Structure 1
Amino acid sequence: MTRKAEARDRILRAVIDTLAAQGFPATTARAIATTGGFAPGVIYYHFDDLDDLFLAAMRHSSDLRMARYLERTDHLDQAAEMLQTLRELYEEDIATGHIAAVQQLVAGAARSSGLAEGVRAEIDRWEEFTEQLIGRFLDGTPLALFIPKREVAMTILAFYLGLEMLAHLDGDRSKGAAIFDSAKRAAAMIDAFLPPADRD
């Protein structure tokens, strides 16, 4: 990696860390620079403005997390195992600051049509990925007749972002764990409809 690429990655990481720790309104060029340990002017050498920087940071973080999700889920063919893996990935999203940063960017996008368009495009990418995961377990089963994959994918993402917002407000992350625990029953039901041995 070149020095320019390393500097760019350092800035993007600082954006995610600042958004996660301080929220969108406080994520100024100065705050980002303080987090990353560089001069504010460095930002504008690599990016046109803050909206350009925010979108680049969201794409960068999403690319890293999407690669991780694909790596961990690509071979799974049992709903219960998939649920456990998604639970572990969700915990990673929390630890890396990704989910908090995305939630802050979604909230902040209301002030800028350009930012909103870019954030929406990234959310769409996650909706498509989630829909594909759902289809892996519903397609070819009786459940596919009753469960709309796209709408369920949108609901899951809304839950994903909303849960982080509520956890940030009250500091209680046990709610997420409780929801994953409850989802185990649904995963077991899906596995019962289509045993792994029958999947081609």
Structure 2
Amino acid sequence: MRENGFAGASAREIARRAGCQQSQVFYYFGTVPDLLLAALDAVSARRLAAYEPLLAGDPGLPELIDAAGEVIATDLETGDVAVLAELISGARSAPGMSAQIAERLAPWQQFAERAARQALAAHPLGGFAPAGDLARLLAAGILGLELLATLDSDGEAVAGLVDRASAAAALLAQQTAVEVPR
């Protein structure tokens, strides 16, 4: 899917790349969408386990934005976000797939909400926006960055956006630490 997109993920192409008979795709997975969802499950579990330690040690907003930048860079490099974006965009053509993808993204939403709550807990502006809204904004931003990265030949635009977000978070942390009266 990284190379050929959702439309190019046919049973024939998958079997060719796996070095097996096309019938084995159907035997083991039932349908191509079921195979793609199984792949999403495997990648998602691996990536979520890798990101869980980012929430250890009670990081603040600047640290979480820096960590998110690393996550985004890694996922853009591996193509994991590209696969997710392809699955989401292709889900319209496979009945019931949107709900299946949404169900599989729930742990990511919970992870992002925990991160937002943790980052905002000690921040004076923490009550400004609900953690769930910030988590959705983060997910939309990451997916949007993936789409922009496909147009960015050298990757500098996306990296620059992440750097500016990190600098803004650090500045905001400094400002609110000094100026917010209790």
Considering the TM-score relative to the shorter chain, is it more than 0.5?
yes
- Partners of 2:174 and 2:58 lie apart in 1 by 16
Q: Once structures 1 and 2 are overlaid, which stretch shifts more, 146-155 or 67-76?
A: 67-76
- Partners of 1:189 and 1:170 lie apart in 2 by 28
TM-score normalised by structure 1 residue count: 0.79
Q: Does residue 1:88 correspond to 2:88, yes or no?
A: no
Confirm or deny: 8 A CA contact 2:58 2:118 kept in the other structure.
no
Confirm or deny: 8 A CA contact 1:79 1:190 kept in the other structure.
no
Match of 2:6 among 24, 39, 42: 24
Match of 2:150 among 149, 156, 168: 168
CA positional deviation for 1:194: 8.7
Unaligned runs of 5+ in 1: 1-18, 196-200
CA positional deviation for 1:144: 1.8
Equivalent pairs counted in the alignment come to 177
Structure 1 counterpart of 2:146, which letter?
E
CA positional deviation for 1:177: 0.7
Unaligned runs of 5+ in 2: 178-182
CA positional deviation for 1:73: 3.7
Percent sequence identity over aligned pairs: 30
Mark the CA change 1:85 to 1:123 in structure 2 (over 3 Å): closer, same or farther: same
Aligned pairs for 1:169-184 (under 5 A) are: 169-184=151-166
- Partners of 1:193 and 1:135 lie apart in 2 by 20
Q: Does residue 1:41 correspond to 2:9, yes or no?
A: no
Higher helix share: 1
Task: Give the superposed CA RMSD.
Answer: 2.1
Q: Once structures 1 and 2 are overlaid, which stretch shifts more, 116-125 or 137-146?
A: 137-146
Mark the CA change 1:72 to 1:141 in structure 2 (over 3 Å): closer, same or farther: closer
In structure 2, the partner of 1:117 is 99
